[in-house]
Homo-oligomer: A and B are copies of this chain.
Amino acid sequence: MTKRSMTVDDHRFLMNAVNIARVHMERGHGGPFGALIVKDGILLAEGWNEVTTANDPTAHAEVVAIRRACASLGSFSLTGTTIYASCEPCPMCLGAIYWAHIDRLVFAGNKADAAAAGFDDAFIYEEFERDAAKRRLVTVHSPLIEMDAVFSAWLAKTDRKPY
């Protein structure tokens, strides 16, 4: 069995993520998205979309689940875990999954489904593929030698902690 195939446990956890999406949408907590993080078959944390109730545009299901799983472990690394998401992660959440060093992602809906339901995931993925000069986000790159000096100081810092 490769890790790219679905197990019975995978199906159960993914169905739970979809159920979280439904329940919290029905309760008016935010968009219809749910996620959970599992390590060695044990549930570490659940998350659901709370953007409009928490007034936090970063409070997507996956980001919330990552924060909670890290808090429960007391670690900024989720190595060895799988994240189950009701829908394909948007660029923000996919980036968060990489920074958390999660090993495996299992999802149900995809970004086209999300777009059809009125969410910007596909648009944001398209923006990423454009040159910065052609993005809707007006983008200005202004190099500063002062920032080069900060990076040099970081590399010279003997007690720096990588993440």
Q: Mark A44-86, 1 if CB is under 8 A from B, else 0.
A: 0000000110111110100100110011011111100000001
Question: Which of B76, B118, B147 is in CB contact (< 8 Å) with A18?
Answer: B147
- Could you tell me which residues of chain A, from 87 to 134, have a CB within 8 Å of some CB in chain B? 87-88, 90-110, 113-114, 116-118, 120, 124, 127-128, 133
A70 touches which of B55, B90, B99, B149 (Cβ 8 Å)? B55
**Copies of this chain present:** 2
Q: How many residues of chain A have a CB within 8 Å of chain B?
A: 93
- In the complex, what's the smallest C-beta–C-beta distance from A55 to chain B, in angstroms? 5
Q: Are B146 and A18 in contact (CB under 8 A)?
A: yes
For residue A153, CB closer than 8 A to chain B, the reply is yes
The distance from the CB of A48 to the nearest CB of chain B, in whole angstroms, is: 11
- Can you list 15 pairs linking A and B with CB atoms under 8 Å apart? A6-B142, A54-B76, A56-B76, A57-B70, A57-B100, A57-B163, A92-B94, A92-B99, A98-B124, A99-B120, A99-B124, A106-B142, A110-B143, A113-B151, A128-B128
